[in-house]
Amino acid sequence: MAVLNVILFVSVNYNKIMAENQYTEDNIRSLDWKEHIRLRPGMYIGKLGDGAAADDGIYILVKEVVDNCIDEFVMGNGKRVDIKVKDGKVTVRDYGRGIPLGKVVEVVSKMNTGGKYDSKAFKKSVGLNGVGTKAVNALSSKFMLYSVRDGEKKEATFERGELVDEKGLVKTDEQNGTYVEFWPDEQIFKKYNFKAPYLIKMFWNYCYLNRGLAIYFNGEKFQSKDGLKDLLEDNMDGDPLYPIIHLEGEDIEVAFTHGKTYGEDYYSFVNGQHTTQGGTHQSAFRESIAKVIRDFYNKNYDASDIRQSIVAAIAVKVVEPVFESQTKTKLGSQEIEPGGQSMRSFINDFLKDKLDNYLHRNPEVAETIEKKIKQSERERKELTGIRKLARDRAKKSSLHNKKLRDCRIHFPDLKDERREETTLFITEGDSASGSITKSRDVNTQAVFSLRGKPLNCFGLTKKVVYENEEFNLIQAALDIEEDMDNLRYNKIVIATDADVDGMHIRLLLLTFFLRFFPDLVKRNHVYVLQTPLFRVRNKKKTIYCYSDEERRNAINELGKNPEITRFKGLGEISPDEFKHFIGEDIRLEPVILSKEASIDEILSYYMGKNTPERQDFIIDNLRVEKDLEDEIAKDKLEGNDEVEEIES
């Protein structure tokens, strides 16, 4: 009888499963253009995000609109672009030819419609697929545009891609061009916030690549006179070893020098697009510059010694470029134009001619470069033995001490959007790492546990990276010893306690990254984990608060006598709670270097010998901590007496 019941159970469930998995005409759906974009936004703008990362979707929306303005400038129409970003609203106004008035609605709402399909008009355009502004339209809660051409104006308004208002032609005195305003949809970009440094960097890049273009962002003017030379001067940390070498040719511009920091630093562009992940043009430049310099000196220098401490920018123009994604962050084109010269030979021929001539005409620069190469060669050979011992020690320590709880997939190995999610949390102590380890996504989140405070490495040489166990193991976990492109995690998140010791450890780690691997910060890979300072709850609701203002708002919302818990140590937050803080609602504060920032000056101020200025800074921040304690005491006096303080 039991067997019969089992057979009947299996039979009934099998029939149920088959019924639920029928594949009929009813299963086939046809999505219109806006539904498809909203259902699969990653196909059009990459990842979503809330604005904490430079490649989050809200910045791609801005870029897609501005790209059209740049294309107009490149075609010789309109030298100014006005951009405003305030309270989540973006407005962009160019002074080009303006969209043909009869096609204003279609170009932002009808797929496979746009001027960029006409290769005569946009031979080397930033974008070629005509999807950009349509994606902005579909992913905005409100999208309005108008076009002005020869005294006439056409305007249309959309909501989430749906046309809600279309005005007829009207006469106007406005200058020719196109105006767009939009609000990213909070249903898709939850709690988004534009960060000005990311936008400013984007707008400066447009100006470096388009000399003569003037961008006004919230009233501030950006303009470049010397292109990529200006880019390096504005972004280098400290003075170059020799004057920046600036070379130009048809469809190519190059600028480079050597600095005093470790590693290699590249800025690469294709048709005005900042290819943050490089691509065939950047790889060809790295290979070619080593080859040309070897040939010039007639010596077989190691490529790593030639490129050590190089800071370079390269911009190329390609006919119908092929990128690896819609966000165009990595060039895949093997040729400068379909069926034409290969990217490698094009860049090599250019450098062989221009750079070789430059070095012959500037022997003092050539001498400085060779001295730098020989210095890098000596340092590399001195570190060879130490590196081998360090690698062996790293393998042994990782195996036995389990400092690294790795994840299953890694940044350089993936081609889909999951690669952006790969994260390494660097924690202080086993208790904090234990809580995160139990709460994490084992597929994309790894945890590295520090033991005590790291060494203050300000003013030290790279030798310390291999001799110090903590630094050596962090470097091994990231796999960045040989090449930054091997980086195993897209995000490196410093997760320390919200107390004095935690802040100190955070500074020591940032000193390590800025001193030896500044590209990690410059490429927007380093973040600080924001965890709640307070938990405010009653029997019905729990609110996690990340600031004192949020705590006061939560108290007002929950009413009389809520329980208030103050968190200071990550290890005191239970794994069940931690899931809220490192999942979809994770709050990350990016570590951003401003355009004016000097790494040497920053590190000297915070990590060098004591100065009166730093003492004043510490005293001021101690007052902030004291004010916080006074606020809690005030809450107790006002009746919120159920305050529990949790300290690490």
Per-residue confidence (pLDDT) for residue 200, from 0 to 100: 93
**Torsion from C-alpha of 362, 368, 373, 378, nearest 10 degrees:** 160
**Torsion from C-alpha of 105, 110, 114, 117, nearest 10 degrees:** -170
- Give yes or no for residue 6 having a pLDDT over 50: no
- Range of weakest confidence among 1-15, 52-66, 90-104, 196-210: 1-15
Per-residue confidence (pLDDT) for residue 30, from 0 to 100: 57
CA end-to-end span of the chain, whole Å? 60
Q: Which residues of 439-450 are buried (b: 16+ CB within 10 A; e: fewer)?
A: bbeeebbbbbbb
Q: Which domains does the chain have, with CATH numbers?
A: 39-222 (3.30.565.10), 233-379 (3.30.230.10), 404-531+578-608 (3.40.50.670)
- Using pLDDT thresholds of 50, 70 and 90, give the confidence band for residue 569: confident
- pLDDT more than 70, % of the chain: 84
Per-residue confidence (pLDDT) for residue 643, from 0 to 100: 47
* Mean pLDDT computed over 530-550: 88
State whether residue 211 is helix, strand or coil: coil
- Give yes or no for residue 613 having a pLDDT over 50: yes
- Using pLDDT thresholds of 50, 70 and 90, give the confidence band for residue 263: confident
Structure-model confidence comparison of residues 603 and 268, the more confident one: 268
Task: Output the CA torsion sign for 184, 190, 194, 198.
Answer: negative
- Using pLDDT thresholds of 50, 70 and 90, give the confidence band for residue 269: very high
Per-residue confidence (pLDDT) for residue 128, from 0 to 100: 42
Per-residue confidence (pLDDT) for residue 647, from 0 to 100: 37
Out of 36-45, 138-147, 231-240, give the one with best mean pLDDT.
138-147
Per-residue confidence (pLDDT) for residue 598, from 0 to 100: 73
Per-residue confidence (pLDDT) for residue 646, from 0 to 100: 41
- Give yes or no for residue 325 having a pLDDT over 80: no
Residue type, 418: R
CB atoms within 10 A of CB 334: 11
- Say which DSSP state 326 is in: T
- pLDDT more than 90, % of the chain: 38
pTM: predicted TM-score of the whole model, two decimal places: 0.76
Per-residue confidence (pLDDT) for residue 120, from 0 to 100: 46
CA–CA separation, 267 and 331 (whole Å): 13
63: left (phi over 0), alpha (psi -120 to 50) or beta: alpha
Per-residue confidence (pLDDT) for residue 21, from 0 to 100: 58
- Give yes or no for residue 419 having a pLDDT over 80: no
The residue among 595, 500, 551 whose CA lies nearest residue 222 is 595
Q: Which residues of 88-126 are buried (b: 16+ CB within 10 A; e: fewer)?
A: bebebbbbbbbbeeeebbebbbeeeebbbeeeeebebbb
Whether 329 contacts 275, CB under 8 Å: yes
**How many residues in the chain?**
648
The pLDDT tens digits of the residues spanning 222-252 come to: 999 999 999 999 988 788 999 999 999 999 9
- Give yes or no for residue 648 having a pLDDT over 50: no
The pLDDT tens digits of the residues spanning 160-198 come to: 989 999 999 999 999 999 999 999 999 999 889 999 999
- Range of weakest confidence among 90-94, 254-258, 355-359, 620-624: 620-624
- Give yes or no for residue 157 having a pLDDT over 90: yes
- Give yes or no for residue 83 having a pLDDT over 70: yes
- Give yes or no for residue 574 having a pLDDT over 90: no
Average pLDDT value for the chain? 83
The pLDDT tens digits of the residues spanning 460-512 come to: 888 888 888 888 888 888 988 777 778 899 999 999 887 788 888 999 999 99
The residue among 372, 408, 94, 103 whose CA lies nearest residue 259 is 372
- Using pLDDT thresholds of 50, 70 and 90, give the confidence band for residue 44: confident
Per-residue confidence (pLDDT) for residue 597, from 0 to 100: 67
Per-residue confidence (pLDDT) for residue 18, from 0 to 100: 54
CA–CA separation, 165 and 157 (whole Å): 5
CA–CA separation, 514 and 603 (whole Å): 8
- Range of weakest confidence among 66-70, 325-329, 401-405, 558-562: 325-329
The pLDDT tens digits of the residues spanning 59-71 come to: 999 999 998 898 8
Residue type, 30: S
The pLDDT tens digits of the residues spanning 343-378 come to: 999 999 999 999 999 999 999 999 999 999 999 999
